[in-house]
Amino acid sequence: MYTYEEFSKLINQYISEQKYARSPQSLYDPIVYDLSLGGKRVRPILMLMAANLYKKEIHTFLSTAFAMEICHNFTLLHDDLMDQSERRRGKPTVYKKWSANAAILSGDAMLVLAYKYLAMTKSEKKNEIFDVFSDAILEVCEGQQFDMDYEHRDDVSEEEYITMIRLKTSVLLAASLKIGALLGGASAKDASALYNFGIQIGLSFQLMDDYLDVYGDPQVFGKNLGGDILCNKKTYLLIKALEMADADTKLQLIGWINRDVFVNTEKIIAVTELYNKIGVKEFCLEKMKEYYNNGLQYLEKVSLPAEQKCELKNLSERLLNRNM
């Protein structure tokens, strides 16, 4: 069994060796830039870990693992353009550094590259792997669309929100685990349990993201607090607050949402105080724990001795605690 650090080294080494760039440079430069921005490589590592549960030798799966990472970066690249996000991993995003058109076209080429690496997969389950992969990307697109649609609505329910983050965040983590399991030769039951483990861990991960934006330690979190509050992002905290607030508190919250002119720190402090008054902090922590424990229960269902599954368990813990 490899450790997290070994997996990380393996996939980063593999990525750095790949020669996929052709001509014109103007198409491939943004792709090389984007794929060398780093990141935690969570999806390929989850895939390799799942495969490694069943197979000792996992080097032949690196192309498939890279396909998961390219695919993830493709979705971020297009999302950053759609959301007009100017920075990613401390660097300017592709659309900011080059142009919107570069982001569109280089992103498209990345998705094709992901399929080309996926096509290198050697497995008798290749057809099923392709289906899991395509379904996951389609669901990420659906999640991103829900997210954009919800921007214009003030009545998004908790259920709708969970559906959205499941599609946008969880599904690709889950698909990575399932594809790894299929590559390793897991039973259908194990592959499905690992998929569901990924779904639940992804949900708790996203709720933690929402939580840390308001209640995190900026030193640890790596970015300023309150970013979601300032742009009225529909997070679990906001949705739950709108649902649970009494009439008067709700009016105050909506007042802040609709205000065009404000001092940033004042809005952050005021909305955080409303959150505290309504008590959504505890709800969010509770829900996070619930999904995390659901995830562990699915992991337990995987028919292998607990000690073999500890790397996956550790990784999900580190993911949740942002300790990586």
- Site residues (vs a copy of itself, CB under 8 A): 22-24, 26-27, 78, 81-82, 100-101, 104-105, 107-109, 111-113, 115-116, 119, 127, 130-131, 134-135, 137-138, 141-142, 144-146, 148-149
β-bridge partners, 87: 92
- Pick between residue 171 and residue 274 the one whose CB is nearest to a copy of itself: 171
CB of 125 to a copy of itself, least distance (A): 13
Of residues 120 and 269, the one with the C-beta less far from a copy of itself: 120
Q: What is the DSSP letter of 167?
A: I
Closest CA to 242 of 155, 149, 164, 152: 155
Q: Which of 114, 3, 119, 123 is nearest to 52 (CA)?
A: 3
Cβ 24 to a copy of itself, closest distance in Å? 5
Shortest spacing between CB 35 and a copy of itself, in angstroms: 16
DSSP 119: T
Rg (Cα) of the chain, in Å, rounded? 20
Of the two residues 1 and 138, which places its CB atom closer to a copy of itself in the complex? 138
Nearer to a copy of itself, 101 or 321 (CB): 101
Q: Which residue reads 């919250």 in tokens?
A: 253
Partners of 88 in the β-ladder: 91
Nearest to 194 by CA among 302, 41, 318: 302
Residue 100 CA to residue 62 CA, distance in Å, equals 31
Nearer to a copy of itself among residue 146 and residue 211 (C-beta): 146
Q: Which contacts of 20-25 are long-range, i.e. CB under 8 A and separated by 24 or more positions? A: 20/113, 20/116
CB of 126 to a copy of itself, least distance (A): 8
Q: Return the number of the residue (23 or 323) whose C-beta is nearest a copy of itself.
A: 23
Q: Give φ, ψ of 139 to 5 degrees.
A: -70, -35
CB of 238 to a copy of itself, least distance (A): 20
Closest contact distance (angstroms) between CB of 93 and a copy of itself is 14
Helix (H) or strand (E) holding 94: helix 94-97
C-beta closer to a copy of itself: residue 52 or 121 = 121
Least distance in Å: CB of 105 to a copy of itself?
6
Give least dist CB 145 to a copy of itself, A: 4
Characterize 139-170 residue by residue with b for buried, 16 or more Cβ atoms within 10 angstroms of its Cβ, and e for exposed. Answer: bbeebbebbeebeeeeebeeeebbebbbbbbb
Shorter beta-carbon distance to a copy of itself: residue 122 or 223: 122
- 22 burial class (0-12, 13-18, 19+ CB within 10 angstroms)? exposed
CB 64 within 8 A of CB 117: yes
